[in-house]
């Protein structure tokens, strides 16, 4: 198996000091794969992705990216290392145009920015067609595509996606998740938090299940797809630690 691009080990983190939401959570992301995190509401999925993204303090544990310790590094510094974070909502700048949103993300690209912009518009033709429009006028699905395009503009090796399907129709959800799949063919790794378990498990390579802030199960996504325990834990029918 390929070496991990991201390795989180025994992470304890939360929003308030001394009140951890995550307790000793570990996970591994392999290159050019979609690694899925699922779990019931309040399991700590978004907390985990925010802790990895540097938005929350990690009180213990270690996060390594491509072999380097990135625990506690600020979100904006992670971007320079090749990690992009796509927040669940409010992930675009609605009062700016689509082009301005992308320009903002491309600022580090320097002389390559025009080429990269052209590539992004080729990849997301719906955005190209509306490049002069305010991002706030886009539909929910198009906004997620813009958020993903902005993340791609930073040339990431790993994208952290926090519930990209939040508020989207099933069709738009499918489109967004399928697009995430195509990104892995370009060598990008994805760590995905998702509520749409069935759709996400079909596209993911590996899956980690959290409940009550702890690891419950993990394994290849196709193995977990038909696993009864997955349904039980995901639906909250089983108590923590039984699995």
Site string for other proteins, 113-142 (x = CB under 8 A): -------------------xxx--x-----
Residue 114 or 219: which CB sits closer to other proteins?
114
Q: Any residues with CB less than 8 A from the CB of 68 and at least 6 apart, and which?
A: 81
Q: How far apart are CA 191 and CA 52, in angstroms?
A: 10
Cα 142 to Cα 18, 55, 136, 163: the distances in Å are 39, 25, 10, 15
Q: Is 4 or 146 the residue whose CB approaches other proteins more closely? A: 146
Shortest Å, Cβ 46 to other proteins: 12
Interaction between residue 175 and other proteins (CB under 8 A): no
31 half-sphere exposure, CB direction, 13 A CA radius? 11
Q: Are 98 and 149 in contact (CB under 8 A)?
A: no
Tell me how far apart the 2 most distant CA atoms of the chain are, in Å: 55
Interface residues for other proteins in 50-109 (CB under 8 A)? 53, 55, 74-77, 79-80, 84-87, 90-97, 99-100, 103-105, 107-108
Site residues for other proteins per CB under 8 A? 53, 55, 74-77, 79-80, 84-87, 90-97, 99-100, 103-105, 107-108, 132-134, 137, 147, 150-151, 153-154
């Amino acid at each position: 198996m390929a070496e991990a691009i991201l390795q989180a080990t025994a992470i304890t983190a939360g929003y308030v000091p001394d009140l951890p939401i995550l307790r000793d959570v570990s996970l591994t992301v392999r290159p050019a794969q979609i690694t899925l995190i699922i779990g019931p509401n309040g399991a700590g999925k978004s907390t985990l992705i925010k802790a990895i993204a540097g938005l929350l303090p990690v009180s213990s544990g270690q996060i390594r990216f491509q072999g380097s310790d990135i625990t506690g590094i600020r979100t904006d510094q992670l971007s320079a290392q090749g990690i992009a974070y796509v927040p669940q909502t409010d992930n675009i700048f609605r009062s700016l145009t689509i082009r301005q949103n992308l320009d903002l993300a491309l600022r580090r690209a320097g002389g390559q920015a025009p080429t990269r912009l052209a590539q992004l518009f080729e990849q997301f033709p719906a955005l190209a067609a509306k490049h002069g429009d305010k991002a706030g006028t886009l539909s929910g699905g198009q906004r997620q595509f813009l958020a993903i395009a902005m993340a791609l503009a930073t040339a990431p090796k790993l994208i952290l996606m926090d519930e990209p399907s939040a508020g989207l129709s099933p069709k738009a959800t499918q489109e967004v998740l399928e697009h995430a799949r195509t990104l892995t063919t370009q060598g990008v790794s994805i760590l995905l938090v998702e509520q749409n378990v069935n759709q996400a498990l079909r596209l993911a390579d590996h899956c980690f299940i959290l409940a009550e802030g702890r690891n419950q199960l993990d394994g290849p996504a196709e193995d977990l797809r038909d696993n009864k325990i997955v349904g039980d834990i995901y639906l909250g029918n089983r108590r923590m630690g039984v699995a």
